[in-house]
A and B are shown apart, each in its own frame.
Chain A
Amino acid sequence: MRAKLLIGMALVAVCLGIYFLEHQSPPSAPRAAPADRALAPDFSLPDLTGRRLGLSTYRGKVVLLDFWATWCDPCREEIPHFVELQNKYRDRGFQILGVSMDDGPEPARDFYLRFKMNYPVVMGNAKIGERYGGVLGLPIAFLIGRDGRIYGKHIGATDITVFEEEIISLLQK
């Protein structure tokens, strides 16, 4: 019986190993050069209700602009953390704006409701992707300061504490 128990434990350990190996997040790409600090391109895009929304609506706030899609696993994993951040820092002048790169709004609408997202999402397109230097892989998030300039760019799944530190820093400026 003990032998069976040990074999069982070993099998569980192997399965755990496989699971975590397959689900480990790749390292985040280095941030854009801080010296850059270009003005974030403004846009006017339809949100999930069809109402047009622009980045300039949030001028004066610290904005996390998140390019994502419902079919993107790392993007989905980040969303609940973004909901938390939005709740935590809203009153200090922080706003998240999602840009869905789905091919149509339906999946984004379903996702929005299911995950109780608490920040606006607009439907992206190739043009806005190009204006932000090419959104050729997801997720990509930009941190924009109160002055409308880009202070950070994160490609790929990024630890939420990294975002939080940068948000706090930008809110204090």
Chain B
Amino acid sequence: MNRTFKNGGILLTLGLASFVLISAAAAFQAASIPTPRLINPDELVKILQSSEGEKPLMIQVGSHVLYSQAHIPGSEYIGPANSEIGLQQLRRRVESLPRSKFVLIYCGCCPWSHCPNVKPADDALRALGFTHVKVLYVANNFGADWVDKGYPVAKGD
């Protein structure tokens, strides 16, 4: 009986370890970004349209094909932050900026919980010491949550 429990315990421990690893992998997704670091599209629009307050440096960290079709006017294309090349470009772009600079990152390639880009970008900026970083919360995709809402859009490179 004791052996049965012991074997069961080992199996449970292995199962637990597997799911902890799987959950840890999932933690790289956008869904693990704490809510206080997020900003909704309507909030961002208000900031951009306001005559007061600091305007963010806006960086798109997703696909260039999507950026070319539609992006937030004034935002810069950096490259997908799920790749080391994209992260290097992001670090290079911000390295000379004061760490208190308001930086906004966004992607909108995929539904929020599947976006592979915003979390690595957010992590990279935090690691560099940036204290005022916001991530645009795009629930479904940039088309549905920004373009279709009638918010300002620019096209091209």
Q: Which A residues have a C-beta under 8 Å from some C-beta of B?
A: 1-2, 4-5, 8-9, 11-12, 15-16, 18-19, 22-26, 29, 69, 71-74, 101-103, 124-126, 129-130, 134-138, 155-157
Contacts and interface: CB of A to CB of B under 8 A. Distances in A.
A103 B12 contact: no
Given A71-B63, A73-B116, A129-B69, A138 B9 contact: no
B65 A71 contact: no
Given A1-B5, A19-B26, A26-B140, A103 B111 contact: no
A24 B112 CA distance: 11
A5 B66 contact: no
A74 B110 contact: yes
A100 to B, nearest CB: 9
B45 to A, nearest CB: 17
Interface residues of B, number: 42
A22 B143 CA distance: 23
Chain B contact residues: helix, strand, loop or mixed: helix
A5 B8 contact: yes
Q: Which of A5, A9, A18, A136 has most chain B Cβ within 10 Å? A: A136
Contact of A126 (B65, B111, B139): B65
A138 B9 CA distance: 42
Contacts of B31: 22
B144 interface: yes
A125 B65 contact: yes
Interface string B60-74: 000111101110000
Interface of B: 2, 5, 8-9, 12-13, 15-16, 19-20, 22-23, 26, 29, 31, 63-66, 68-70, 80, 82, 108-114, 116-117, 139-144, 146-147, 155
Given A15-B16, A156-B140, A69 B109 contact: yes
B13 A8 contact: yes
A15 B15 CA distance: 10
B19 A72 contact: no
Nearest to B110: A72
B69 A126 contact: yes
A136 B15 contact: no
Nearest to A1: B5
A136 B108 contact: yes
Nearest to B113: A22
13 contacts: A18-B26, A23-B113, A71-B80, A71-B116, A73-B110, A102-B65, A129-B65, A134-B143, A135-B65, A136-B66, A136-B146, A137-B140, A156-B141
